[in-house]
Amino acid sequence: MELASLHGIGKNRLQALHAAGIDSLRDLLYAVPVKYRDTGACALIADAREGERFTFELVREGEAKLNRYGQRSRVTCTFADDSGRITACWFNQPWMRENLNKTLRIRLHGTIAVHAGKKQLINPTVEKELGICPVYRPIEGLPHKIHEDIVAQALAYVEQLCPEILPEGVIKRHGLCSGAEAIRLLHQPTSMEDVQRGQRRFAFEQMLLYQAAVLGVKDMRRAGRSLEIRQGDTALFWQKMPFQPTAAQRRTLREIAEDLNGSRAMVRMVQGDVGCGKTAVALGAMYLCAKAGRQSALMAPTEILARQHYESLKDFCHKSGIGCGLLLGGMPQRERRKALEAIESGLWQVVIGTHALIGEQVVFSDLGLCITDEQHRFGVAQRTALINKGIDHQSQGDGSAPHLLVMSATPIPRSLALVMFGDLDISIIDELPPGRKPVTTRLVSEDKRQGMYGFLRDELDAGRQAYIVCPLVSESEAADKLKAAKPYAEALREGELKNYRVGLTYGAQPAAEKQETLRAFAAGELQVLVATTVIEVGVNVPNATLMIIEDADRYGLAQLHQLRGRVGRGEQQSWCFLMAKPNERLRALTHSNDGFEIARTDLELRGPGEILGTRQHGEALLPGGTAAFGSMQLLYEAAECARELEERPEYAGEWQMVAQNARKVLGTLESSISIS
């Protein structure tokens, strides 16, 4: 049976489905609802709370009224139940006046808003039946009712279209429903418990397949060439540093040195809090590699961060007699040609760059160590491509792989890191350099804005600098009155900061303009930098003492912690002001500067998927989508299941089935997950 054979699907609707990425009945069934409206129980107006969704059985009081404002319209009507009154408004739906005036009793479902102390419903839906209503992602040209109808037709063939991929034993032992049943529950639930059962099944499935792939990868590490690190080289490196390393830095570099001396290729993650000194450890690893006569490459996710690394490492490399260079995507042709020659000849022993490092024209002389910074910003395929640069063009030709070091500045609780990055050995730098003053973080409400501007001017008058971060670039993107960087910067220049030097930077800004802005801010020529989250990493200005984050509730805790880490890098006391209404998440940030503690809070409040900031392989192919990592308990359960299947002989058949499906759904171990 094909999509075109479904009742209600003609040529135009078929094209609409294809445009939405739905090309088969299986695709249709896997495009599960994005949310659900629970209209199963009615509430009283008096019990309704602001910001929450409710269903009400109401009686209309008076006639519905229609007001027009040019091409816009608003229908308003007052309703009541035994506990009180509420006003409902429908914007740009003029037909609602006639519909409402035809009936006296009505059932409405929507989110409660409060205006001038009175409760309102904005654009509520009219419900004819009580129950769980699936809400699909809108598809232009396909009415929602037709979408529901064709899904119901396809569900008759769900067993053939969506065959089971988990062993029966796993399903029984972990209390899961079958894949086909989960699809039915997600499309036609009778309760929210049905929805949770369906989501749990597919969340567990995705986690288990990912864990199976990770376990397979760990056993497939390539042979590596020992760099034969000489005893005392690590101590010599630290002696060259202008500071005393922390014990955690020393320990981490020792672990790396032991790996570099091994016969298997190192695959190690170094994670730590903002400002813990990961870059110094990475430099130490590259120093050891250069001393052993081989090249190292450090790949950063942005040009800003790549340049930052280059500027901080080049002097040390020069003084140590180590060739060092920078390779970026937008370099002038002549400059790029010289860089490629220096890399291929081995003149540059330390190479720093962006994704340009994995370009076809890049050939290394003898790549012994690959480092990826901000690990969560890179896909596995990218770090694999960098590894392959050392396999394809090595001088020995023995098939051995370069060593791999990945760095992450997003602190992840060790328990989660061991599960999610089980193919990596993990080093944690859990100390900050002595003398760093913790950043003081405050929640600032809108009515305190003028006082905040006064504090900002005081800091600038004292010779300090400040960042102001906005969630959007321009007003054309704006929704819900969010701050946009471009108009905000202009407004500050003409208003509150008219006597100060204000700069602007954002992701899509031309590279030369962005680089010049960052240079001017670092040099103190600009006092205030208005920016988007492009400054989240790779910007180091010790004189900046104030970070203002507009609409702070739009960001995750981990990202807010990263942004806060742009200040507090000098000797002066630094501040971070979060412009937002108070909530539990943001209060957690004001109480702690410990990134690992903040990460644990994020786990409790939002689940592991969001703290990682990445979608895992295959997620888009599976029902449930972002629900895949919704529960820490379920994540650990799936990890334990994978280990049992691999280790216990009685589960050998089940393990084979899971491993095969992991390769099929998540991509082959060699090309998609593996660093080999």
Give the CA diameter of the chain.
Answer: 89
Q: What is the pLDDT of residue 478?
A: 44
Grade residue 671 by pLDDT with cuts at 50, 70 and 90.
very low
Q: What is the pLDDT of residue 462?
A: 96
Q: Are strands 528-531 and 575-579 parallel, antiparallel or unpaired?
A: unpaired
Cβ 313 vs Cβ 350: under 8 Å: yes
CA 616 centroid distance within chain? 11
* Percentage, residues of the chain above pLDDT 90: 53
CATH number given to 38-126: 2.40.50.140
Q: What is the pLDDT of residue 380?
A: 58
Q: What is the pLDDT of residue 416?
A: 67
Closest CA to 608 of 412, 407, 409, 410: 412
Q: Decide if pLDDT at 618 tops 70.
A: no
CATH number given to 233-429: 3.40.50.300
Q: Which of 609 and 461 is assigned the larger pLDDT?
A: 461
Residues of the chain with CATH 3.40.50.300: 233-429, 440-591
Amino acid at 204: F
Structure tokens at 336: 């790029």
Grade residue 515 by pLDDT with cuts at 50, 70 and 90.
confident
Amino acid at 652: A
Grade residue 631 by pLDDT with cuts at 50, 70 and 90.
low
**Domain 440-591 -> CATH class:** alpha beta
Total Cβ atoms within 10 A of residue 153: 16
Give the Cα separation of 182 and 175 in Å (integer).
12
Q: Which of 555 and 287 is assigned the larger pLDDT?
A: 287
Q: What is the pLDDT of residue 219?
A: 56
Q: pLDDT tens across 433-452, in order?
A: 777 788 999 999 999 999 99
Q: Which residues 6+ apart lie within 8 Å of 87 measured at CB?
A: 76, 77, 78, 79, 118, 119, 120, 121
Match 């990592």 to its residue by tokens: 629
In which region does residue 550 sit, left (phi positive, over 0), alpha (psi from -120 to 50) or beta (all else)? beta
Q: Decide if pLDDT at 657 tops 60.
A: yes
**Least confident range of 80-84, 124-128, 165-169, 667-671:** 667-671
- Helices (H) and strands (E) counted in the chain, each on its own, are 24, 21
Mean pLDDT of the chain: 85
Residues of the chain with CATH 2.40.50.140: 38-126
Q: pLDDT tens across 389-426, in order?
A: 877 555 455 667 889 898 876 677 666 666 666 667 88
Amino acid at 633: Q
Q: Decide if pLDDT at 28 tops 60.
A: yes
CA 361 centroid distance within chain? 31
Reduced to 3 states, what is the DSSP secondary structure of residue 110? Answer: strand
Q: pLDDT tens across 309-362, in order?
A: 898 899 999 999 999 999 998 899 999 999 999 999 999 999 999 999 998 899
Give the Cα separation of 427 and 407 in Å (integer).
10
